[in-house]
């Protein structure tokens, strides 16, 4: 969840580290810090708050001071797990001899701390990371690689870690278990990071460490070993997106940029995967033979947050069109619930980052139980993509804003392609398949039509800025849209937004309705619309203001609501995407008018790598 950057090479380290931290700030932003190798020892600077607070501290050092001249260092931006966001708890954590930054959780930190205290170590913070730092110090006798290896053998939990020692100038030691570490390979230099966006400015050559890898790096020399075995070989691969993709490109926020990127992102998701003639999709990455596709008896979809909401659309479409039993499961519960899974099940793990701890745990549980397991992932080379070994990449490009937008619509587009694949191998005719292909191919255009209404949606949003609570309701395919709409609004505007199936409203939530509680109702043309219109009437009768997400030109729906946003006419499984885009823009404008920090909402992190 936090961000790690490290540098060793022939350039000044501080600008590389600070630039990397800014790139990673979306991962966590309650404090930041760095440790720099200088001739007189390791210099640590850290600050509560955003990276800009740290840069203020760095500016206090003269330009020609050792900190600015140094060519090696490590840095970190934190999302608090153990201990509140204070300067003391910020990383790096250090002894007089070593400094260390860490992502993940050291589960046995209490017992290790007791042991270290008995040896005379004093602790300045409440973090599990300081325990790891001092544990490394306790093993240190001039060889940091050995000290970290020995320390990690005592550790239970997860880590992505980078450290350095005062007596080994220019050397970084890094290791991973459960939290990603990627090495950017440059000429006589290496940039270490917890994700590729921090290295792309310097090099596109990336080596992704595997779990239990530990590496010693000095300049361009990289020596990777396994904590359990000896030397291991890890090939570099090329990062397939450009540095520009990770910039704001003139937009006020990454979120807005990513909302507007959706027509192209969806095009990239479906490119080369549609077979218009045979009316089906081509998903070679799933690695399933036609026989295996027919033999699969159930699709089980797991994910968290926005990915879970997308999964629900996949469940509905798979049952609806393929007649294949499908269910969506919260990844966090999957392994604790002891689910019934067998070799005829295909478990599809959905994750933008490919690093979410709960989703990864579900992947491992499903693999253990003998299911076929595939990933539906955006970040190439991420842990879930590698562990599943089969799946579909979204190709949505980097998503920087914490609130997920383009990943959701590309996930839904992919799930529709998966449903089509299963449908054509079961009960769908070629004619119906061709229509479905056309619908998928029309999605970028439908999204464009919604984006063209941005100004009008901003005007509607202005009428909802003052409310502190809001309901979202929908039925069928529009229920996950209500879920995702409410999630977007609460994440970025801090309005208490909850989604209910429109029929559930009467079973309790309706008690909360009054004029201070508006309702966003998804009432598009299609099955269930008339019933939702009935629910809208019930809301209006309780003085709730109603914003309808309705089909273009639907005069009946217009007459029932106070405000509306129109969506181009299409069948509901396709309408999920443009309707969600409308709600993304609605949430964005409400949050913007409320003056919220849209790209970095409080308490959230882009990638949740702890359970």
To ligand G6P, the closest distance from the beta carbon of 520 in angstroms equals 20
Based on CB atoms, which residue is closest to ligand G6P, 38 or 607? 607
Which parts of 106-261 fold into alpha helices (H)?
109-118, 128-139, 144-153, 254-260
To ligand G6P, the closest distance from the beta carbon of 153 in angstroms equals 30
- 22, 48, 529, 606: which one is catalytic? 606
Q: Of residues 580-609, which lie at the interface with ligand G6P (CB under 6 A)?
A: 604, 606-608
Q: Does 412 bind ligand G6P (CB under 6 A)?
A: no
Interatomic CA distance for residues 68 and 55, integer angstroms: 12
Complete DSSP assignment for 415-479: HHHHHHHHHHHTT--HHHHHHHHHHHHHHHHHHHHHHTTHHHHHHHHHTTTT-SEEEEEE-TTHH
To ligand G6P, the closest distance from the beta carbon of 599 in angstroms equals 12
Instruction: Tell how strand 190-193 and strand 3-8 pair up.
Output: antiparallel
572-593 and 454-462 helices cross at what angle (nearest 10)? 60
Based on CB atoms, which residue is closest to ligand G6P, 131 or 239? 239
To ligand G6P, the closest distance from the beta carbon of 565 in angstroms equals 23
Q: Can you tell me which of 203, 359, 600, 609 binds ligand G6P, judged by CB under 6 A? A: 359
To ligand G6P, the closest distance from the beta carbon of 307 in angstroms equals 4
Based on CB atoms, which residue is closest to ligand G6P, 88 or 387? 387
Q: Does 356 bind ligand G6P (CB under 6 A)?
A: yes
Based on CB atoms, which residue is closest to ligand G6P, 217 or 349? 349
Count, residues near ligand G6P per rule CB under 6 A: 15
For ligand G6P, which residue has the nearest CB? 305
- 2, 163, 304, 539: which one is catalytic? 2
Q: Of residues 258-317, which lie at the interface with ligand G6P (CB under 6 A)?
A: 304-307
Cβ atoms 227, 152 nearer than 8 A: yes
To ligand G6P, the closest distance from the beta carbon of 407 in angstroms equals 6
Q: Distance of CA 86 to CAs 44, 48, 610, Å?
A: 15, 5, 20
Contacts of 426-433 spanning 24+ positions with Cβ under 8 A: 426/294, 426/322, 426/323, 426/324, 427/322, 427/323, 428/279, 428/321, 428/322, 429/279, 430/278, 430/279, 431/279, 432/279, 433/278, 433/279, 433/280
Q: Does 352 bind ligand G6P (CB under 6 A)?
A: yes
Based on CB atoms, which residue is closest to ligand G6P, 356 or 532? 356
Q: Can you tell me which of 280, 353, 409, 580 binds ligand G6P, judged by CB under 6 A? A: 353
To ligand G6P, the closest distance from the beta carbon of 239 in angstroms equals 18
Based on CB atoms, which residue is closest to ligand G6P, 593 or 604? 604
Interatomic CA distance for residues 419 and 314, integer angstroms: 7
Q: Of residues 386-405, which lie at the interface with ligand G6P (CB under 6 A)?
A: 402, 404
Cβ atoms 73, 64 nearer than 8 A: no
Based on CB atoms, which residue is closest to ligand G6P, 341 or 363? 363
Cβ atoms 400, 247 nearer than 8 A: no
**Of the candidates 350, 327, 343, 324, the residue with the CA atom closest to the CA atom of residue 424:** 324
Q: Say whether 606 is catalytic.
A: yes
**Omega before 92 within 30 of 0, i.e. cis:** yes
Task: Tell me the catalytic residues.
Answer: 2, 606
Binding residues (CB under 6 A) for ligand G6P: these are 304-307, 351-353, 356, 359, 402, 404, 604, 606-608
């Amino acid at each position: 969840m936090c961000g790690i950057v490290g540098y060793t090479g022939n350039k000044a380290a501080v600008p590389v580290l600070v630039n990397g931290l800014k790139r990673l700030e979306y991962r966590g932003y309650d404090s930041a810090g760095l440790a720099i190798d200088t001739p007189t020892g390791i210099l640590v600077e850290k600050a509560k708050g955003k990276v800009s607070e740290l840069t203020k501290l760095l500016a206090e050092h003269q330009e020609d001071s050792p900190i600015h001249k140094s060519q090696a260092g490590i840095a970190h931006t934190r999302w608090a797990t153990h201990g509140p966001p204070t300067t003391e708890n910020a990383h790096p954590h250090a002894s007089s001899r070593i400094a260390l930054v860490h992502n993940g959780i050291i589960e046995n930190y209490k017992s290790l701390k007791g042991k270290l205290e008995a040896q005379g170590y004093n602790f300045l913070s409440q973090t599990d990371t300081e325990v790891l730092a001092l544990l490394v110090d306790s093993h240190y006798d001039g060889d940091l690689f050995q000290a970290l290896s020995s320390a990690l053998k005592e550790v239970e939990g997860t880590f992505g870690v980078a450290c350095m020692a005062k007596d080994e100038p220019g050397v970084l030691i890094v290791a991973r278990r459960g939290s990603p570490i990627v090495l950017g390979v440059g000429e006589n230099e290496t940039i270490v990071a917890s994700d590729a966006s921090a290295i792309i400015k310097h090099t596109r050559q990336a080596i992704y460490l595997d779990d239990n890898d530990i590496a010693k790096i000095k300049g361009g020399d990289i020596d990777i070993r396994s904590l359990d075995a000896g030397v291991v070989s890890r090939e570099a691969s090329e990062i397939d997106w450009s540095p520009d993709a990770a910039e704001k490109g003139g937009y006020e926020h990454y979120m807005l940029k990513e909302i507007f990127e959706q027509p192209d992102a969806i095009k990239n998701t479906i490119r080369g995967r549609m077979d218009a003639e045979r009316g089906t999709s081509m998903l070679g990455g799933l690695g399933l033979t036609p026989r295996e596709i027919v033999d699969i008896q159930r699709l089980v979809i797991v994910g968290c947050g926005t990915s879970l909401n997308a999964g629900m659309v996949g469940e509905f479409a798979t049952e609806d069109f393929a007649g294949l039993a499908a269910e969506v499961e919260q990844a966090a519960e999957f392994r604790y619930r002891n689910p019934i899974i067998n070799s005829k099940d295909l478990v599809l793990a959905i994750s933008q980052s490919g690093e979410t701890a709960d989703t990864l745990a579900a992947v491992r549980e499903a693999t253990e139980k003998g299911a076929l397991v595939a990933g539906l992932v955006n970040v190439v080379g991420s842990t879930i993509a590698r562990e599943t070994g089969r799946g579909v990449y979204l190709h949505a490009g980097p998503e920087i804003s914490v609130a997920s937008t383009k990943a959701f619509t590309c996930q839904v587009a992919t799930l529709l392609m998966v449903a089509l694949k299963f449908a054509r191998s079961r009960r769908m005719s070629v004619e119906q398949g061709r229509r479905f292909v056309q619908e998928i191919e029309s999605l970028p255009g439908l999204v464009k039509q919604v984006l063209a209404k941005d100004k009008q949606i901003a005007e509607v949003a202005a009428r909802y800025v003052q409310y502190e609570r809001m309901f979202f309701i929908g039925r069928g395919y529009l229920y996950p849209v209500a879920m995702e709409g409410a999630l977007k609004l609460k994440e970025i505007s801090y309005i208490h937004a909850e989604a209910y199936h429109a029929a559930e409203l009467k079973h309790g939530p309706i008690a909360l309705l009054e004029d201070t509680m508006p309702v966003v109702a998804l009432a598009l043309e299609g099955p269930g619309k008339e019933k939702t219109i009935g629910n809208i009437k019930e809301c209006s009768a309780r003085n709730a203001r109603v914003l309808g997400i309705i089909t273009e030109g639907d005069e009946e729906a217009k007459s029932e609501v106070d405000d509306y946003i129109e969506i181009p006419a299409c069948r509901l499984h396709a309408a999920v995407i443009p309707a969600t885009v409308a709600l993304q823009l609605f949430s964005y404008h409400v949050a913007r008018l409320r003056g919220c920090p849209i790209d970095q909402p409080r308490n959230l992190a882009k990638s949740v790598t702890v359970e």
